[in-house]
Structure 1
Amino acid sequence: MTIRLVSFDLDGTLVDTAAEIAEAVHRAFDDVGIERRPQAEITNLIGRGTRELMLKLLARVMLEQPALSERVQADAVLERFEHHYAETAGCFGKPYPGCVATLERLRDQGVRLVCVTNKEQRHAERVLAVTRLDGYFSMLIGGDTLPVKKPHNGVLAHVLRHHGVSADEAAHVGDSSIDVESARNAGVRAWAVPHGYNAGVPIEDSNPDRLFPNLPAIADEVDAVLGPLPA
């Protein structure tokens, strides 16, 4: 077994973005006169991109308060969210403990690193830039970069093809069932960390190939496979 490429999800895997997404939602709702929702509710919708998050949240609000549909248009709320998330993206989010050291160790071992997220490309670029993680990745795939997004097998297949790496030489790391399914669909190792969102469901329930206690443990695993760096 060898590891030549590791792809990482972004939200809930590398960076805790829940607070900044919730803040943008709150500001958008304030703009149109919708009562703020609990952050936990918003966090549980993270995983399929911010547009889908907003549409699901708005559908829930309209179901609970039908009268709002007479004065609030979904497109207007989405526009306000986009405006506010352009300001908050990356500003409140914090890389998880050991994130930078893990990426540095993997890079030093010659492992290709890719970020594969369902967050829209423009937002993902900003989060990575503001948190200074962008320099570690040879490629960023957002939820709107390709015609398909996770868990479609075409996403990781595109990454493997671009880098000339076979599926048995790669692993995908995530915090959700979407990531586990993505890895399985592409035939790569399904690795997971427990500190993310996954709609509030324990990631163990998704049966990843490996569940690591933290990000540095992933670098430990790759070190064990590839051997120590030359002195």
Structure 2
Amino acid sequence: MDKQLLIFDFDGTLIDSVPDLADATNAMLTTLGKTPYPLNSIRNWVGNGSRMLVERALVGKIEVLEGELAKEAVDHAEQVFFDAYKNISGSKTVAYPDVDSGLRKLQAAGYELALVTNKPIRFVPKILQAFGWQDIFSEVLGGDSLSSKKPDPAPLLHVCETLNVTPKQAVMIGDSRNDILAGQNANMDTLALSYGYNYGQDIRELNPTAAFDDFSALVDYLLKS
């Protein structure tokens, strides 16, 4: 493949953060006097950033219609969510199998690694520190680091420019349509993982360059490329 840079998504790709996100979401709903939802419902709402998660929780479904929620109400609810998530220990967030060893193998093989997530950047360093990954990624962007986030290609292109790598020398790796579309919009190869948060859609339907059912298979593919 002649690639130099691997750009990873975070939630649903490297870590399963849904249990902690669900706790924060339900704490928000309880504070607002609304009924909480089961974990499996909230799992389907994760992946488009905190704002969309909050909106989906407020209406109780994945599709939020334009004008269905007042901006002021969402602003307030999102702040309540942030406060709740900040106070959560993070103990329920886990790395997917073989991710820790896989990242280290890829780094040792000479790949440069970057992280581009739609999670607000303020919550990222704590999680990286918890897994001992704070020195693995050369560049880390959150959903609010720039004015645009995935599926817009801007964050991926920003990382490439910062690290002096062309899009053709980079690969976007993720679990959801936002990741694959962002990579395709940036004209770079995309590698998909099927186990994450993609709202019930088979990630292969988005025509990534290749797709894998577990992280170790992805690592093997890259090490043989």
Q: Same fold (TM over 0.5)?
A: yes
Measured in 1, the distance between the counterparts of 2:146 and 2:91 equals 26
Structure 1 residue runs without a partner (length 5+): 62-68, 226-231
Q: Deviations over 1:140-178 (max 9, x none)?
A: 110000111111121111111111111221111100111
Measured in 1, the distance between the counterparts of 2:11 and 2:45 equals 12
Structure 2 residue runs without a partner (length 5+): 62-68
Measured in 2, the distance between the counterparts of 1:204 and 1:14 equals 18
Q: Deviations over 1:94-148 (max 9, x none)?
A: 0000001111011101111001111110122222222322221111110000111
1:188 aligns with 2:200: no
Q: CA deviation at 1:77?
A: 2.6
Q: CA deviation at 1:89?
A: 6.3
Q: Which amino acid aligns with 2:121?
A: Q
Aligned to 1:210: 210
Q: CA deviation at 1:86?
A: 0.8
SS at match of 1:198: coil
Measured in 1, the distance between the counterparts of 2:176 and 2:161 equals 24
1:107 aligns with 2:107: yes
Aligned to 1:116: 116
Measured in 2, the distance between the counterparts of 1:141 and 1:178 equals 15
Query: Larger Cα Rg: Structure 1 or Structure 2?
Result: 1
1:34 aligns with 2:34: yes
Measured in 2, the distance between the counterparts of 1:84 and 1:218 equals 34
Aligned to 2:65: none
Q: Which amino acid aligns with 1:194?
A: S
Once the two structures are overlaid, the 10-residue window that deviates more, 20-29 or 126-135, is 126-135
SS at match of 1:88: coil
* RMSD across aligned positions (CA): 2.0
Measured in 2, the distance between the counterparts of 1:216 and 1:151 equals 25
Measured in 2, the distance between the counterparts of 1:88 and 1:79 equals 14
Structure in which a larger fraction of residues adopt helix: 1
Q: Contact 2:50/2:78 (CA < 8 Å) preserved in 1?
A: no
Aligned to 2:3: 3
Corresponding pairs, count: 217
Q: Contact 2:157/2:186 (CA < 8 Å) preserved in 1?
A: yes
Aligned to 2:161: 161
Measured in 2, the distance between the counterparts of 1:41 and 1:76 equals 22
SS at match of 1:140: strand
SS at match of 2:29: helix
Measured in 1, the distance between the counterparts of 2:174 and 2:40 equals 20
1:197 aligns with 2:177: no
SS at match of 1:195: coil
Quick one: percent identity of the two aligned structures? 31
Aligned to 1:223: 223
Q: Contact 2:29/2:58 (CA < 8 Å) preserved in 1?
A: no
